[in-house]
Amino acid sequence: MNVAQTIDRLRQDDRFMRNLTQWRSIPAREARYAGFPEGLHPRLIEGLKARGITDLYTHQRAAIEAVLAGEHICVVTPTASGKTLCYNAPVLNRLLSEPDARALYLFPTKALSQDQVKELQSTIEELEVKIGTYTFDGDTPGSARKAIRNAGHIVVTNPDMLHTGILPHHTIWMKLFENLRYIVVDELHHYRGVFGSHLANVLRRLKRICAFYGSDPQFICCSATIANPKEMAERIVEKPIHLIDDNGAPAGERHFLFYNPPVVNAELGIRRSSVHVATDIATQLLSKDIQSIVFTRSRLRVEIMTTYLKDAVARLGKDTDLVRGYRGGYLPTERRAIEKGLRDGEIMAVVSTNALELGIDIGSLDACIMVGYSGSVASTWQQAGRAGRRSSTSLVILVASSAPLDQYIICHPEYFFELSPENATVDTKNLFIVSSHVKCAAFEFPFKDGEAFGLDAVSTQGVLEYLGEQRILRHVRDRWHWNADAYPAQDISLRTAAPGNVVILDTTQNGRVIGEIDYFSAPTEVYQNAIYLHQSAQYTIEKLDLEDRKAYARPVETDYYTDAQVKVDLRVLDAFRSETVGQASRNHGEVSVTWLPSIYKKIKFGTHENVGYGDIHLPEINMHTTSYWIAFSEDLSERTDLPQSRLGAALNGLANTLRQVAPVQVMCDPTDIRALGLLRSPFSEQPTIFLYETYPGGVGFSEKLFTTHDRLLEAAISLISRCGCKEGCPSCVGPALEIGGEHGKSGALILAKMALDYRER
């Protein structure tokens, strides 16, 4: 049975159809061609034709022409639209006419880097010229590194390796930096928040070194669809960007279904497990020999679903090797074998984390099932793009969980299918992050007085003087020299803004390091008795030593995870912006947050039920960050007829809801933002809801929330109003008992409408 027949069967299945909130049919799209532009080397055109590329899509030609004209570009088109050629063609064209030229490719993951090198080498073979193309990452053997530095025309790496393994050693990479013509930054939308802030500073260091060696490379960026690709690219590379987003690639017909599992406990707002629903659907597809990919949000769920599907295949009398899992932690050879099995059709179903979301070549599958919303529209479209050949019908099904973010998306399909309002957020001036990279840049070569790095010259001078006072730098004549023995880059993780990390050690493996976490997150993630998940394995934390920055763990097997409850004290240090909206005010500013983890909840996988509690014994942690907050009038109780006993529940309920819908607006992870409702804020003496960032100094999320205030409140109102529970549940404001009162839901709705001035809408 083919996909089209399966789709017809689903339409006739009343039990399946009654749980759909959307069935969107996206018609097939014809290709639009534009030919090869003038200026391309004849040998390159011949090589492309030998690989079956006899014409270029309109966006490919536009991108190549812009690069040949010397512009910095950002290409924004869907998955499988041929973005790779947009940078490979101009890079190879330059190398054919200028053999000493060099290019640097940056990919967010090692797997994607290796996959792209394989694709590039296939093209180079058709050109019959010697163009050295190599991956340089943590897996590159020491014996090969010297050869790559000398003979690598195209060096493919990731931001982390560029940060620690290339820039600090620029003197042995002279040939690369003297001749660097192009810098390719692929999957740009992944570099948001802290990672994006770090990447912008790594690129500042890269451009500084290039200028030192006399080169001025062009930037070629590629991204999935977001609302502000040009703005984001210009923030990260700090160059004017030519945006190319008119997709000319073809696509087959696609059916995109939103499935909301039936409610099994209306009082608690719990639905049937999304894992079980997705397993049932995937089993049906397997029984009809339809090749599928299943995306889950955790490594643990990959293993659980793989086990379920292997059991289902065995019951069907088929080979269990038709089903494979794919996630971080697998050996590279194992991952390559799975990718090949998918391309060759030997594997009929793969269960993966977002590791297969990126452009790794696995062929074109027939169906895609997503177990839970991926966290962003861009990421969801990336996953959906894994299904569908250019000339055939494909099926995509999003299965929602009971989580508020999932419920908001599944009940608002128009948000997903219309123009995406998602804005990727990058703050390139976070003082903690800039200061860290100033140290790295000073190690690479001295700063001159008056030199600007990310900040203006005066602010940069202030950072240099501070580091001089700490005896990290030494001022001699007009230059600032590195003055410490330590190697700065190795202590700075690109995934966090904290000044140092806590390492997690496996006590059963002689203290083997299994992971790391930033200092400020450690008290709420790896406290004693916490369940820590890593590479699908579960560990319980036996001890957290913050002074020595170590957490000691041992392997366990449980059916629950843990979530810390934190007592928070927040003080406003400075209000940057304030504006009256409705019967409240929206604000953005700097805050000091002191938090004390007090207890943790044990939450059952799948149902999100609380199955126990435990105490946390740790000292207070203090951090300066940025926040967005909504302040109501002092007489709020009288205005709303909500007594003080109900007002606290309403504030807590709305705070919970806002925290859950905020990631939809600012394209961040739910853990990047925390919420706090106060009956009386020490700053304004008014009832206030704070949404504050969990990174020192903030990375721009709170400022974005300030500007999207109306959309944020509209999303909260819609989520609360459309939830079927009576007094609150995990899918909207939180369980009634946990938000501090039985009327939290109705009160939260009243406050949200006041903050939006709902009466005028």
Is residue 677 within 8 Å of 652, Cβ to Cβ? yes
- The total number of residues shown for the chain amounts to 761
18: which residues sit within 8 A by CB, 6+ positions away?
none
The CATH class that applies to domain 42-244 reads alpha beta
CB 248 within 8 A of CB 388: no
**Distance, CA of 602 to CA of 615 (rounded, Å):** 11
Q: Look at phi and psi of residue 624 and say left if phi exceeds 0, alpha if psi is from -120 to 50, else beta.
A: beta
Element (H, E) at 135: strand 133-135
Which residues partner with 570 through β-bridges?
Answer: 593
pLDDT in tens, 55-104: 999 999 999 999 999 999 999 988 778 899 999 999 999 999 999 999 99
Q: What is the pLDDT of residue 162?
A: 96
Domain ranges of the chain: 3-27+253-417, 42-244, 431-491, 565-760
Residue whose token pair is 């719990």: 270
Phi, psi (deg, nearest 5) at residue 397:
-130, 120
Rounded CA separation 65/59 (Å): 10
CA atoms within 13 A on the CB side of 136: 33
In the block, residue with structure tokens 């062009």: 218
* Phi-psi category of residue 171: left, alpha or beta, with phi > 0 → left and psi -120 to 50 → alpha: alpha
How far apart, in Å, do the first and last CA atoms of the chain sit? 50
pLDDT at site 494: 82
Running DSSP on this structure, what letter comes out for residue 169? G
Q: Of 413, 421, 407, 419, whose CA–CA distance to 657 is shortest?
A: 407
The letter for the amino acid at 67 is: V
CB contact at 8 A, 226 and 423: yes
Alpha-carbon distance 489 to 478, whole Å? 24
CA distances 746 to 47, 75, 218, 494, 680, Å, are: 66, 46, 55, 42, 20
> Are the folds of 3-27+253-417 and 42-244 the same?
yes
Alpha-carbon Rg for the chain in angstroms: 27
- pLDDT in the model for residue 454: 87
Pull the structure tokens for residue 169: 């050693």
Please tell me the predicted confidence (pLDDT) of residue 583: 86
What is the predicted pLDDT for the residue at 634? Answer: 87
Whose structure tokens read 């004549």? Answer: 477
Mean pLDDT by 10-residue block, N- to C-terminus, for the chain (761 residues)?
88 94 93 94 94 95 97 91 93 95 90 77 87 86 85 92 95 96 93 90 97 97 87 95 95 94 77 91 93 86 87 92 81 80 90 78 85 86 81 90 86 79 80 93 95 91 94 94 88 72 87 78 88 73 90 90 86 94 92 90 74 90 93 87 83 92 84 89 92 90 93 92 80 71 80 78 46
φ and ψ of 258, to 5 deg: -105, 120
Yes or no: say if 32 and 58 are a contact pair by the CB < 8 Å rule. yes
Q: How far apart are CA 598 and CA 569, in angstroms?
A: 13
pLDDT at res. 760: 45
> Coil, helix or strand for 345?
coil
CA–CA dist 21, 271 (Å, integer): 15
With a CB cutoff of 8 Å and minimum separation 6, the contacts of 605 are: 300, 301, 304, 559, 560, 561
CA distance 328 to 357: 13
CA–CA gap between residue 46 and residue 169 (Å, rounded): 38
Identify whether the C-beta of residue 719 lies closer than 8 Å to the C-beta of residue 403.
Answer: no
Residue 82: name the closest of 108, 64, 101 by CA.
64
Model confidence pTM above 0.85? no
pLDDT (0 to 100) of residue 535: 45
- For 105, residues 6+ apart whose C-beta sits below 8 A from its C-beta are 87, 113, 116, 154, 155, 156, 157, 184, 186
Q: Which residue has the tokens 């339409």?
A: 11
pLDDT in tens, 125-156: 888 889 999 999 877 887 888 889 988 999 99
Contacts of 235 (CB under 8 A, 6+ apart): 196, 200, 426, 428
Question: Which class is domain 3-27+253-417?
Answer: alpha beta
Q: Is residue 144 a contact partner of residue 134, using CB atoms and an 8 Å limit?
A: yes
Strand pairing category for 218-223 and 323-326: unpaired
Q: Rounded to whole angstroms, how far apart are CA atoms 467 and 456? A: 17
Q: Is the dihedral of CA 78, 80, 84, 86 positive or negative?
A: negative
The single residue listed with the structure tokens 């002689």 is 510
CA–CA gap between residue 617 and residue 621 (Å, rounded):
12
CB atoms under 10 Å from CB of 325, counted, come to 25
Q: Residue 60: left if φ>0, alpha if ψ -120 to 50, beta else—which one? A: alpha
Per-residue pLDDT tens digits for 460-519: 999 999 999 999 999 999 999 999 887 898 888 887 666 567 888 999 988 888 877 777
Residue 284 CB neighbours (<10 A):
18
Q: Is the dihedral of CA 134, 140, 141, 147 positive or negative?
A: positive
Q: Which pair of structure tokens corresponds to residue 119?
A: 């694709």
Cβ partners under 8 Å of residue 580, min gap 6: none
CA 745, CA 736: separation in Å to the nearest integer? Answer: 8
